[in-house]
Chain A
Amino acid sequence: MKLTEEQINRYSRHILLKEVGGKGQLKLINGRVLVIGAGGLGSPIALYLAAAGIGTIGIADADRVDLSNLQRQIIHSTPDVGKAKVLSAKEKMLAINPELNVVTYETWVCAENIQSMIADYDFVIDGTDNFAAKFLINDACVLGRKPYSHGGILQFDGQTFTVSPGESPCYRCIFPEPPPKDVIPTCSRAGVIGVLPGIIGTLQATEAIKFLLGTGDLLHGRLLTYNALRMRFREVPIRKSPKCPICGDNPTITELKDELDALTVCDLGH
């Protein structure tokens, strides 16, 4: 496979980078990334992956665009209110880059559907807004040995790290169990500053691009935290936990289940 003249022009600023070049751009074009969540985090992730020319991008979300989303979910516009988020997202992604194959999944991820969904992709990005989904994505990716980027935001704080199952610590190495429902506020209850998902989501998209290129260092074993008020990034070094219930020495989680007690936002849609 060779780049066309138009592709060479479109991706010229990538191709100029020695870490990318023509070969790297072809890796991106042949790359397959699944974005779970087409909201705050999913918006910049999907837009940047589309612009970067990731050839196949899956996007999963069962929600519809609401006026209150538009303060931060920049892939959606005012005329999209009421439209399925995955369809609104697909339109914007194809407007940036019509060559892409955008696969939409208008559903919430659950234990029953996630394994077959992630199987088709090289890398998964968690852009979901609830702990049930975050734990499910971790478990599915660890069991399916699929690398993924975790992201979380609330109010003025965000965090992200990248999991390569078997190589690096997973979400449950840090947080063995999801918190009970309603203990931790969601963005819809506690608020979120609109630019925050732009920062964290862009970091997550960067990880996917680096993964496909096979260049640089991924956020393995380092939880990157960000506070917008103090404008401070921190790194918390994390280790693989021998006691981790899914990737430790004696795993107790060997199959997927929905964390019903931890549902916060998704349950509204079921």
Chain B
Amino acid sequence: MKITLKLFATFRNGRFKVAEQELPEGTDVRQVVLGLGLTEEEIGIVMLNGRHGELDSTLSHGDTLSLFPLVGGG
């Protein structure tokens, strides 16, 4: 299956802004995160097809997955 993966803010450094990814059926968000060399703890917001998603969310063909880092300064 094919998904569109969008990265935001510092996640783009050394990676990409948007990419199409070919993934095995049943892949979840956590596997995509780890595949990017990121850890679960670094993930702020998971957005799946414009809605708030979770690391456990299973991806489907045609999904758009957006990952935002945590922002905790002030």
> Which A residues form the contact surface with B (CB < 8 A)?
37, 39-42, 126-131, 134, 151-159, 174-175, 179-180, 183-184, 186-187, 190, 192, 197, 223, 225, 227, 236-239, 264
0/1 string, B60-74, CB within 8 A of A gives 1: 000000001111111
**Residues from chain B with Cβ under 8 Å of A130 in the complex:** 72, 74
**Residues from chain B with Cβ under 8 Å of A175 in the complex:** 44, 70
Asked if A131 contacts B74 (CB within 8 A), the reply is: no
Asked if A129 contacts B74 (CB within 8 A), the reply is: yes
Q: A155-B10, A156-B9 are in contact. Are A184 and B52 (CB under 8 A)?
A: no
Q: Does B5 belong to the interface (CB within 8 Å)? A: no
Residue of A nearest to B9 (CB): A157
Asked if A237 contacts B74 (CB within 8 A), the reply is: no
Q: Which 6 A-B pairs have the closest CB atoms?
A: A187-B73, A129-B74, A152-B71, A183-B41, A157-B9, A154-B73
Per the 8 Å Cβ criterion, residues 33-65 of B in contact with A are 39, 41-42, 44-45, 47, 50-52
Q: How far is the CB of B11 from chain A (nearest CB, A)?
A: 10
Asked if B68 contacts A225 (CB within 8 A), the reply is: yes
**Residues from chain A with Cβ under 8 Å of B68 in the complex:** 157, 225, 236
Asked if B9 contacts A41 (CB within 8 A), the reply is: no
> Given A37, A155, A179, A236, which contacts B9 in the complex, CB threshold below 8 Å?
A155
Asked if A154 contacts B71 (CB within 8 A), the reply is: yes
Q: How far is the CB of A201 from chain B (nearest CB, A)?
A: 9
Residue of A nearest to B51 (CB): A237
Q: Does B16 belong to the interface (CB within 8 Å)? A: no
Asked if B71 contacts A227 (CB within 8 A), the reply is: no
Asked if A152 contacts B52 (CB within 8 A), the reply is: no
Q: For chain A, what secondary structure do more than half of its interface residues adopt (helix, strand, loop), or is it mixed?
A: mixed
Asked if B45 contacts A174 (CB within 8 A), the reply is: yes
Max chain A Cβ within 10 angstroms of own Cβ: one of B8, B42, B69, B74: B74
**Residues from chain B with Cβ under 8 Å of A131 in the complex:** 70, 72
**Residues from chain B with Cβ under 8 Å of A155 in the complex:** 9-10
Q: How far is the CB of A85 from chain B (nearest CB, A)?
A: 12
Q: How far is the CB of A200 from chain B (nearest CB, A)?
A: 9
Asked if B74 contacts A40 (CB within 8 A), the reply is: yes
Task: Give complex CA distance A158, B71 in Å.
Answer: 7
Asked if A153 contacts B39 (CB within 8 A), the reply is: no
What are 11 inter-chain pairs, A to B, with CB distance below 8 A? Answer: A41-B74, A42-B74, A153-B74, A157-B8, A157-B68, A158-B71, A183-B39, A184-B70, A186-B73, A197-B74, A227-B8
Residue of A nearest to B42 (CB): A183
Asked if A192 contacts B52 (CB within 8 A), the reply is: no
Residue of B nearest to A243 (CB): B54
Beyond A129-B72, A237-B52, A264-B72, 8 extra complex contacts between A and B, CB < 8 Å: A39-B74, A152-B74, A157-B71, A174-B45, A179-B70, A187-B74, A227-B8, A236-B68
Max chain A Cβ within 10 angstroms of own Cβ: one of B9, B50, B69: B9
Max chain B Cβ within 10 angstroms of own Cβ: one of A225, A227, A264: A225
> Given B10, B42, B50, B73, which contacts A152 in the complex, CB threshold below 8 Å?
B73
**Residues from chain A with Cβ under 8 Å of B52 in the complex:** 174, 223, 236-239
